[in-house]
Structure 1
């Protein structure tokens, strides 16, 4: 399922393809992806633009969400609701994102079963090629129940 989720995201999110994101692993509420070092993605200090870093992290968080809740797509749509980012060091070179859900699947699906719109967090760490933390994020996601089609 790992490469399927990464492929799905790259097919449905054209901007992720534009950035050249690569999904290395996806599964069990986690995901790892990276963005190559490209001159056209750099900012004024020579590293990836903040928008590139955010997109990388949000994409990793989305893949992590789909790894646990992809089987719920027939009744709910996963959507990010908020995100916070802390820039720790100047990012340079290829950047790697590692995302992990901070919620239990059974709890989230149980809330969906109860008719709620569950919210849950995904933590994402961004590191450079040397493994140095350059930024971290928390992305809050929801599973919005799908509306029945209207006649």
Structure 2
């Protein structure tokens, strides 16, 4: 997950929790990440959140993720305050949803899941929330 060009460009630190959570952290905002107000730009924050949300979906899919097609279908984001020195996004899929997802993929079917992501500033204050609808499907090449 750390070798993807998008994650490298953002310069994210990513961490996988033992509980199935995924955290993506922008600790070192680059000049191109900052907007005219001196805050981390909204699309960059979205990108940090997407890494955590999609990552949580991959973790939830388990071993089936290696041969699945995973894409963000839709997203909503609510910014509560500006991020100045960086941003942390944390996402996790409920274990019962993860278990159902794995059964569905093993049966050769796909499904959409909701992934909630929280955003926090460097000082731990809430900066916003995101909800991603992630589509997870068996890889078409595996079905041909």
Q: TM-score, normalised by structure 2?
A: 0.85
Partner residue, 2:118: 125
Greater displacement, 50-59 / 87-96: 87-96
1:65 aligns with 2:57: yes
Given the superposition, is the C-alpha separation of residues 70 and 45 from structure 1 closer, same or farther in structure 2, using an over 3 Å criterion? same
Q: Distance in 1 between matches of 2:115 and 2:107?
A: 22
Q: Distance in 2 between matches of 1:90 and 1:74?
A: 36
1:45 aligns with 2:43: no
Give the root-mean-square deviation of aligned CA atoms: 2.2
Q: Distance in 2 between matches of 1:73 and 1:24?
A: 18
Following superposition of structure 1 onto structure 2, how do residues 84-123 of structure 1 map, counting pairs within 5 Å?
84-102=76-94, 104-123=97-116
Displacement of 1:78 in angstroms is: 1.8
Deviant stretches of 4+, over 6 Å: none
CA contact (8 A) 1:28 1:64 kept: no
CA contact (8 A) 2:60 2:99 kept: no
Displacement of 1:96 in angstroms is: 0.9
Q: Distance in 2 between matches of 1:21 and 1:72?
A: 25
Displacement of 1:150 in angstroms is: 9.1
Displacement of 1:72 in angstroms is: 0.5
Give the aligned length. 142
Gaps of 5+ in 2: none
